Structure 1
């Protein structure tokens, strides 16, 4: 896992961190780091730890930053994994060197991964993640999973027992990306999910069903959105953003572009998915968040219009930042922040700290 710092809000200064896996490529340092980007941490694999990825940040009340991420034994998405943490006391410039256990795997857990951390309006910290488990006999997929929420009243020292977001009587396999859960100005919590399989379906759907789970009581109870979106194009890994006018924008990874949908009732019903204007060289998620100091949007994605996107081997590169001053209608200040030829830049967590933005993401070598 890499951490980058970017320091100007024309494109914000970036501190990046990297979660990596072991290959021969890791013997050289990553390249393609432009001016204005500082690499401040690389969490490399070790014996019994083949991959680190999909984390998120939260700012603690004493000013420290907490990072929680997925620590894998193997390298695949379904390999055994647990949630661990690191802490920074200086805005993300330096970090503790030891992994601290956050949520350990239980006997019936095959994998815990894909963290979203969120400071609730009531002061609690919410921790959202995926728990994968072996399928029931009637299931027609390799794994089923739970989407879980825990909360902390003591700044991440301890966590509550988990709350199920998807009901137990709806066994399924869904994907919640890291750094995706949001709380609206109204207080509503929104969890965007890509449902790839539900028990009773004939099989796994590569193009998933997009739904949102919503809570108006701080996460005590959850209800599914009325809309369940599908697309003839590939649709996966949704994210949600609240716009200035109160509408919500959903963005989903697809083949050559991100797909977009909008809701004007706080995530209950959604418009049909339509292609966006920002293209990408391969299937990969984007990340979009609002810059607190300016109100502009910051997007990180793999820019398909860049000449590097046309070069072989084609992967999740370049890693590009852009700013929108009109709630995503147009994008400007487009700059690459990562161009390593072996870089696969994705699963980005974003945290704005003072005059820079901190990013944690997969980068090098390749996807892991």
Structure 2
């Protein structure tokens, strides 16, 4: 009798553990869902560096660079194409819609989309003609992305190779539009991995552009691919891909015209870009990055894994609720776009050593905070 009771409890415990594991896996699936994989195929070696925009009819548009030909290099032919979701990002259309066809002598890539305060939509992307001529362009849509106006070059004071990552354009509460740039080469200079960082800004909804002063950075640190976030007090924080084992940061109190000396943040990171946006309902910051810097292998080998999310409740001074959403130790995950929809957040990011694929992941904000 005792043996039968003991066996009963062992079986019951095992069944309970299996049920709990299955329920946990189900909850993980609902809270952290991979909802779209855009993988390479014939005459399509790469799909990467996208951006999101919410439309008035409730749909979400995701625009990314679709490369063609046999090469997936940053300078290979590409066009900007879009996919739509009508259910908050759970499912997506299967066919690409051309947004900007091939232009420039090399390609177009690195998309940013932004709903402006005048209710129009801005599309910003890099047009590459040569290693001496890569500049961000802006197009405006007045009909919810059905059509786009003519492209205007944001940088007209000089020519050079300017890098602006995807999902980087912001509009301040004052109405000023800011675009962070990193200049690496001109026709009269050699290529430098260390970029000259500065912001171009518009105070008339993107019609005309001016530029601020360069961000002062330590000579011995490589600085690249800046991003921006406006804090609650109106100060602008620039976060910077850097070679020190940490993301660097600089601050502006005059709308991006002048900047403090850049220094290390508390975000350990390989020399890889990070993305930060404010969560609409809470005002907290959401960070997405490769949590693999400082003394980790990423600092030495440049590994862009894992892909990690974290929350800051104090304007980026500290980070908590750290969770990996991609953990393949041999994987590559980077150039993330962030879009909030209801009680979820969508992340679009490049996958693979050559960024051959674009993934969209849908996270429950409740799960992110727990």
User: Same-fold call, TM > 0.5?
Assistant: yes
Deviations 1:37-82 (A, max 9, x none): 1111100111111000000000000000001100112211111111
Q: Which runs of 5+ in 2 are unaligned?
A: 1-27, 357-370
Q: Distance in 1 between matches of 2:166 and 2:240?
A: 13
Q: CA deviation at 1:163?
A: 1.4
Could you say which residue in structure 2 is the equivalent of 1:113? Answer: 109
Q: Does 1:278 align with 2:273?
A: no
2:216 paired residue among 199, 204, 229: 229
Higher relative contact order (CA 8 A, sep 6+): 1
Q: CA deviation at 1:314?
A: 6.2
Q: CA deviation at 1:177?
A: 0.2
The aligned runs of 1:16-35 (5 Å cut-off) are none
C-alpha distance 367-228 of structure 1, shift in aligned 2 (>3 A): same
Could you say which residue in structure 1 is the equivalent of 2:275? Answer: 287
1:267 paired residue among 220, 235, 256: 256
Q: CA deviation at 1:342?
A: 2.8
The aligned runs of 1:136-175 (5 Å cut-off) are 142-167=131-156, 170-175=158-163
Could you say which residue in structure 1 is the equivalent of 2:96? Answer: 99
Is the partner of 2:183 in helix, strand or coil? strand
Q: CA deviation at 1:200?
A: 2.6
Q: CA deviation at 1:306?
A: 9.9
Q: CA deviation at 1:323?
A: 0.3
Q: Which runs of 5+ in 1 are unaligned?
A: 1-32, 135-141
1:89 paired residue among 82, 86, 111: 86
Q: Does 1:36 align with 2:25?
A: no
TM-score w.r.t. length of structure 1: 0.84
- Structure richer in helix, relative to its length: 2
Could you say which residue in structure 1 is the equivalent of 2:124? Answer: 128
Is the partner of 1:76 in helix, strand or coil? coil
The aligned runs of 1:253-264 (5 Å cut-off) are 253-255=241-243, 256-264=245-253
The aligned runs of 1:170-319 (5 Å cut-off) are 170-201=158-189, 203-232=190-219, 233-255=221-243, 256-280=245-269, 282-304=270-292, 315-319=303-307
- Structure possessing the higher radius of gyration over alpha carbons: 2
Contact conserved, 1:34 with 1:337, CA < 8 A, in 2?
Answer: no
The alignment of Structure 1 onto Structure 2 pairs a total of residues equal to 325
Contact conserved, 1:308 with 1:318, CA < 8 A, in 2?
Answer: no
Is the partner of 1:240 in helix, strand or coil? strand
Contact conserved, 1:55 with 1:70, CA < 8 A, in 2?
Answer: yes
Contact conserved, 1:236 with 1:252, CA < 8 A, in 2?
Answer: yes
Q: Distance in 1 between matches of 2:293 and 2:133?
A: 37
Q: Distance in 2 between matches of 1:59 and 1:35?
A: 22
Is the partner of 1:145 in helix, strand or coil? strand
Deviations 1:8-46 (A, max 9, x none): xxxxxxxxxxxxxxxxxxxxxxxxx98831111100111
Contact conserved, 1:211 with 1:229, CA < 8 A, in 2?
Answer: no
C-alpha distance 265-312 of structure 1, shift in aligned 2 (>3 A): closer
Q: CA deviation at 1:341?
A: 2.5
